[in-house]
A and B are shown apart, each in its own frame.
Chain A
Amino acid sequence: MLSHPKLNRVHTGIVGLDRMLEGGLLANRTYILAGDAGSGRSSICGHFLMEGVNKGEDVLYVTVDSPPADISSNLSSFKWDAGKIMILNAHPRVREFKVRGSLLEVTSQRSVGSLRDMDDKDKPVQPGTSADLSLPTLQLMLKKEFEGKSYQRLVIDSIISLKLLGGQDVQWELGINSILRLLMEEGVTTLIVSDTPKREEALRPEFLMAHGVIRTHRFVVNGKVYRGVFVEKIRGSGHDMQMRPFDITGKGVEVDSSKALMPAVLSQLSTRYPTP
């Protein structure tokens, strides 16, 4: 007989969010962070990784949709020392001028560095070239990176453009399944950034396969910006069932897990999650 399993909790670095999660994320699992543009997804990821850095863990930020310099300047606005966050630059800019090669050649082009070293040294974009990052390439990049180092925390920010480039068929589902399997086997706790699905959309395979889904919304009521976060699903754990307000201040993200969103804000959202 097996012993009773004990699940370790991983703090997100955001006190209010950890409360919503009843203590944090379950370790060694993969979570989808899905939200509207400008809703604070990358900032949440920054907190998650900095929390690891502060505990002496090895953490990796895989940037796909924005250049590392953007991530760096975003995080340094919180006056953090983000230098210990390792970054895997999968942003298409670094590969756009190269001759298209095999998947293995592509992975050898990866560049991992400390976030501190990531100023705007990227090569200029060549007009007319196309990005060729795909799930198989990303998997190979990660696998290669894991060979030399074991990470405790990982962020993939984001899979939005990957999905736009090839997210329609069963190959996408198999690719996602395979990457999630890799992350599980590595035992790394991962956040994958995604966008908010259209209301009428079928459940995305990555939402289905992930161990949990956290969703963020950003909306404007009477000219003022509001942000809300809720925990949609966490396998193996109870969680808050309320949508909570959150702010991005000079110190980072703050979630107030004791408050509800204003009724005017909630009523805007209830059209998305209507009473049956």
Chain B
Amino acid sequence: MLPTSHQRLATGTAGLDKILNGGLLPGGIYIIVGPPGSGKTILASQFLLEGVKRGESGMLVALDEQPVQIRENLLPMFGPNFDKIFVLDATLEMKNYEVSPLRDVSITRHAEQFGQVFPEIPRSPETGNPELTISGIQEMIKSEIRINKIQRLVIDSATALRYFMMPGVDQNTFLQSFLRFLSDLEVTTVITIHEGDSPILDTTSIEYVMSRAVIRLHRWLHSSGFKLGLSVEKFRGSEHEEEIRRIKISPVGLQVIEKQPGSTGGS
């Protein structure tokens, strides 16, 4: 069940709720987009962690990285509460090039809490593994939301969804259908999108159009090293700050740096 619309959801990132005029609005799709190493997964995890602290169930759909490795990466940063987040392994297994198995069976996996994740990378089956499909993933997400009463959902990353595209299906149609599926769920969803050295996602992108808000992470080279920043580019139905604010990633997480009097956020 969604909280009523006047309630805001805390993002779990220090300084971000203020930029968002109090937090996220319940329901809908929020985008975190940025270059490698800018903190997308950390930001998304803090959203789930904040839910755990408030007694709301959260689930991360892992498309980029193995659950066991995500845990290795983030448990030192977030501590035992991280182990209460549910994770659904949506990573692809090794391809079997020797044989061409029939692809008519869709694989089924179940979400588990990070604390229960098997400590090793699962071995890919030697022969004829059934394939993970987009409809399989959708079914799994739906059923796990019901079983575990998920209120906060993260798709990390939406960029990796492309591996599940059927041949001959237009990429926009494919994405639109998946995003529509997400927005029909009664949960608040954060999806991460990867970019290279220059921004690709713009106001005409399907993800941009179908999302409630876009949080963009920035990285630029300054004489004292690479700097990281954050800006909210769009937030449908809410006021928000628009300027780019500096962020920092430390061993305890990602935070928005307080504005210094007289300085601009960008340099």
Contact = CB atoms under 8 A, between A and B. Distances in A.
Contact of A4 (B75, B160, B251): B75
B221 A181 contact: no
Interface in A43-85: none
Interface in A86-104: 103-104
B201 to A, nearest CB: 10
Contact of B71 (A2, A181, A211): A2
Contacts of B225: 240-243, 260
B162 to A, nearest CB: 6
Interface stretch (B3-11, B49-57, B191-199): B191-199
Contacts of B37: 213, 231-234
A158 B127 CA distance: 29
B117 interface: yes
A173 B198 contact: no
Most buried by B among A200, A203, A274: A203
Nearest to A209: B64
A1 B162 contact: no
B244 interface: yes
Given A174-B163, A230-B226, A273 B221 contact: yes
A229 B172 CA distance: 37
Interface stretch (B13-21, B93-101, B140-148): B93-101
B192 to A, nearest CB: 10
Interface stretch (B102-110, B118-126, B175-183): B118-126
A140 interface: yes
B165 interface: yes
Interface string A215-253: 000000000000000111111111011110000000000
A197 interface: yes
Q: How large is the interface on B (under 10, 10 to 19, 20 to 34, 35 or more residues)?
A: 35 or more
Interface stretch (A11-19, A116-124, A125-133, A263-271): A263-271
Contacts of B194: 203, 208
Interface in B108-139: 115-117, 119, 121, 123-124
B71 A201 contact: no
A195 B71 CA distance: 30
Contacts of A197: 196-197
Contact of B266 (A2, A240, A275): A275
A29 B65 CA distance: 11
A148 interface: no
Nearest to A244: B225
B98 A185 contact: no
A5 B196 contact: no
Contact of B220 (A178, A233, A274): A274
B200 interface: yes
B119 A2 contact: yes
B97 A211 contact: no
Nearest to A263: B223
A202 B195 CA distance: 6
Nearest to A143: B94
Given A1-B115, A5-B75, A273 B267 contact: no
Contacts of B163: 170, 173-174, 177
Contact of A207 (B36, B200, B231): B36
A181 B94 contact: yes
A242 B218 contact: no
Contacts of B197: 197, 199-201, 272-273
A175 interface: yes
A184 B66 contact: yes
Contact of B64 (A3, A208, A243, A276): A208
Given A2-B117, A174-B163, A208-B160, A103 B97 contact: yes
A218 B162 CA distance: 33
B263 interface: no
30 contacts: A1-B115, A1-B116, A3-B119, A4-B75, A4-B76, A103-B97, A103-B98, A139-B95, A170-B163, A170-B165, A178-B95, A181-B91, A181-B93, A185-B124, A187-B121, A202-B200, A203-B194, A203-B200, A207-B36, A208-B36, A208-B157, A208-B160, A213-B37, A235-B41, A241-B227, A260-B224, A263-B223, A276-B229, A276-B231, A276-B244
Nearest 10 pairs of A and B residues by beta carbon:
A233-B37, A236-B73, A273-B221, A242-B225, A178-B95, A233-B36, A203-B196, A5-B72, A181-B94, A241-B225
Interface of A: 1-5, 7, 26, 29, 103-104, 136, 139-140, 170, 173-175, 177-178, 181-182, 184-185, 187, 197, 199-204, 207-209, 211, 213, 230-238, 240-243, 260, 263, 266, 269-270, 272-276
Given A5-B75, A187-B121, 20 more contacts: A1-B83, A1-B116, A2-B116, A5-B71, A29-B69, A173-B163, A175-B95, A181-B93, A182-B124, A184-B69, A185-B123, A202-B195, A203-B36, A208-B159, A211-B69, A213-B37, A270-B221, A274-B221, A275-B266, A276-B244
